[in-house]
Amino acid sequence: MPIRYLTADAVRDAEHAAGDLLANGTLMRRASHGVAQVVIDELRRTGGCYGRQVGIVVGAGDNGGDALYAGAALSRRGVACTAVLLAPDRAHRAGLAAFGRAGGRTVETLAGGLDVVIDGVVGIGGHGPLRPAAAEVFGQLTAPADGGPVVVAVDIPSGVDADTGQVHDPAVRATVTVTFGAPRNAHLLAATQCGRTVTVDIGIDPTGTDGDTLSSLTDDEVAALWPVPAPADDKYSQGVVGVIAGSARYPGAAILATGAAVSATSGMTRYVGTAADDVVSHFPEVVAARSLADAGRVQAWAVGPGIGTDDDALELLRDILSTDLPVLVDADGLTLVARHPELVDRRAPTLLTPHAGEFARLTGDELGPDRLAAVRDLARRWGVSVLLKGRITLVADPDGAVLGNDAGSSWAATAGAGDVLSGIAGSLLAAGLTPARAGAAAARVHAHAAELAARDAPIGASDLLAAVRPAIRALRRGHPTSATRVP
């Protein structure tokens, strides 16, 4: 099953549906136990629990209560726990009492030399940046990479919006975020701010929530989706993808997009364009033509990278989009669509793959902090699927469902990497995957390939392309790279 992310309202609904478990404090006790266990695991990584020092930053409400109960559990394990109460009059009374009984101490400010700091300031109900008092406490901490404490956030790092993933300034940057029942939207949308996410089962059932969905595919699901030849398959039945990219003057986009399509599946790749000679010199298995009339039949098209934006390119794109085949549109093709949105008023599956700048051209507005709402809105208004590129890639369908992928790194932020993604996703469209699944699966393999190619050194798109096939192999054999971290 895909990993499902919840809005704050969906979480509250699931908690209220738990009835007595919420009313009698069972959910909070389970949540605080989960937080304490994560802290214990972090301490054990570096020598054990007894005598170690943990600081807790406590806000008002249940989030602070979770943190205080966790502090009580840690104190009983021999951990020296201190807590800064940002709102003493509104601190969770029962949690504060339990913390004191277990030997925890309240202080005015956190001391140096702490091993772990627990962020219990605000949870999913928080909005906006850290308030000055909290910002001052966290501003005094040394970053973990520089020898400072590990930061464990309760539910959501404070200063991060639970639904949109917007990271306000200032906000807590967590090493680990502990959440309950199911991950929240922000754990994907603001993955870099949340760090590693641990989901603790506290006995709530989030499966009955309705409305728009945000999900991500697991590595196993992507591996299962990936097209491989069956005993009766031939080169045609596996999917024939047509690629229109590049030019004689700028053949790079053609080589990258076509090469990615060849690497991604075992069917057939056709190329149409003036860079035909360059493409075939790199990939002799490609069937190349210079004009659409000579292209032959395909099951899907990937069009746009490097084709230009003149009248000839516009007419070519118009011809492609007038077919009843699935079409992926990228790069220069998106510039043309921005000028002529009527081109994508079609019944056949359509996948647009913009980066932030291209998205702004399509919509006429800057992307803004709520990427999820923006990509949903465009997909709904235009009746197409939209893959919004970035460290966190989002693929929205017109019905509001969104599949996301955290690349785990930004190694793929290099010129030409988008051409590689287009070739991979286009080949998956030709193999019969839906636009959303083709886009999400392609993004996952693209991220794998970037990690394999980089190995902590800068890469170019050619390196990325060379790693596509090894990335698919590793995925299908169940050996994921660090690019596939999931909550």
Reply yes or no on whether the pLDDT at 485 is more than 60.
no
* Annotated binding residue 274: no
Contact predicate 67/58, CB 8 Å: yes
Reply yes or no on whether the pLDDT at 483 is more than 70.
no
* Annotated binding residue 104: no
Give me 338's structure tokens. 């921005």
**Which pLDDT tens digit goes with each residue over 414-446?**
999 999 999 999 999 999 999 999 999 999 999
pLDDT band at 209 (very low <50, low <70, confident <90, very high): low
* Annotated binding residue 64: yes
**Which pLDDT tens digit goes with each residue over 309-365?**
999 999 999 999 999 999 999 999 999 999 999 999 999 999 999 999 999 999 999
Q: What is the pLDDT of residue 141?
A: 94
Contact predicate 328/426, CB 8 Å: yes
Q: What is the pLDDT of residue 211?
A: 63
Q: What is the pLDDT of residue 207?
A: 67
* Annotated binding residue 253: yes
CATH (domain of 308): 3.40.1190.20
CATH (domain of 132): 3.40.50.10260
Q: What is the pLDDT of residue 204?
A: 83
Last residue of a domain, one of 184, 210, 236: 210
Q: What is the pLDDT of residue 481?
A: 58
* Annotated binding residue 482: no
Q: Are residue 104 and residue 235 in the same domain, yes or no?
A: no
**Which pLDDT tens digit goes with each residue over 183-197?**
999 999 999 999 999
Reply yes or no on whether the pLDDT at 181 is more than 70.
yes
Reply yes or no on whether the pLDDT at 393 is more than 90.
yes
Q: Are residue 28 and residue 107 in the same domain, yes or no?
A: yes
pLDDT band at 24 (very low <50, low <70, confident <90, very high): confident
Q: What is the pLDDT of residue 208?
A: 55
Q: Are residue 367 and residue 437 in the same domain, yes or no?
A: yes
Q: What percent of the chain has pLDDT over 70?
A: 97
* Annotated binding residue 448: no
Least confident of 42-51, 75-84, 88-97, 208-217: 208-217
Q: What percent of the chain has pLDDT over 90?
A: 86
Q: Are residue 376 and residue 251 in the same domain, yes or no?
A: yes
* Annotated binding residue 234: no
Q: Are residue 200 and residue 225 in the same domain, yes or no?
A: no
* Annotated binding residue 393: yes
- What's the whole-number average pLDDT of the chain? 94
Q: What is the pLDDT of residue 222?
A: 97
| Percent helix / strand / coil, the chain, rounded to 5 | 45, 15, 40
CA 467 vs. chain centroid, Å, equals 21
Give me the mean pLDDT over the 232-251 stretch. Answer: 92
Q: What is the largest CA-CA distance in the chain?
A: 81
* Annotated binding residue 128: yes
pLDDT band at 212 (very low <50, low <70, confident <90, very high): confident
* Annotated binding residue 65: yes
Q: What is the CA radius of gyration of the chain?
A: 25
Last residue of a domain, one of 168, 184, 210: 210
Give me 218's structure tokens. 């697991």
Give me 198's structure tokens. 């641990």
Q: What is the pLDDT of residue 480?
A: 63
Q: Are residue 147 and residue 268 in the same domain, yes or no?
A: no
Q: Is 289 helix (H, G, I), strand (E, B) or coil?
A: strand
* Annotated binding residue 201: no
Give me 158's structure tokens. 């404070």
pLDDT band at 210 (very low <50, low <70, confident <90, very high): low
Q: Are residue 199 and residue 235 in the same domain, yes or no?
A: no
**Which pLDDT tens digit goes with each residue over 244-264?**
999 988 899 999 999 999 999
Q: Are residue 229 and residue 174 in the same domain, yes or no?
A: no
Last residue of a domain, one of 155, 183, 210: 210
Reply yes or no on whether the pLDDT at 482 is more than 80.
no
* Annotated binding residue 126: yes
Give me the mean pLDDT over the 201-229 stretch. Answer: 86
Q: Are residue 122 and residue 21 in the same domain, yes or no?
A: yes
Cα(81)–Cα(43) distance, integer angstroms:
13
Q: Provide the domain limits for residue 363.
A: 219-484
Q: Are residue 21 and residue 146 in the same domain, yes or no?
A: yes
Give me 344's structure tokens. 């994508």
The residue assigned the tokens 């000839």 is: 312
Least confident of 154-168, 221-235, 357-371: 221-235
Contact predicate 404/215, CB 8 Å: yes
The contacts of residue 381 (CB under 8 Å, 6+ apart) are none
* Annotated binding residue 66: yes
Reply yes or no on whether the pLDDT at 486 is more than 60.
no
* Annotated binding residue 273: no
Least confident of 5-9, 201-205, 298-302, 344-348: 201-205
Q: Are residue 25 and residue 152 in the same domain, yes or no?
A: yes
* Annotated binding residue 92: no
Q: Are residue 43 and residue 175 in the same domain, yes or no?
A: yes
Reply yes or no on whether the pLDDT at 304 is more than 90.
yes
**Which pLDDT tens digit goes with each residue over 112-164?**
999 999 999 999 988 999 999 999 999 999 998 899 999 999 999 999 999 99
Q: What is the number of structural domains in the chain?
A: 2
* Annotated binding residue 124: yes
* Annotated binding residue 47: no
* Annotated binding residue 308: no
* Annotated binding residue 158: yes
Reply yes or no on whether the pLDDT at 68 is more than 50.
yes
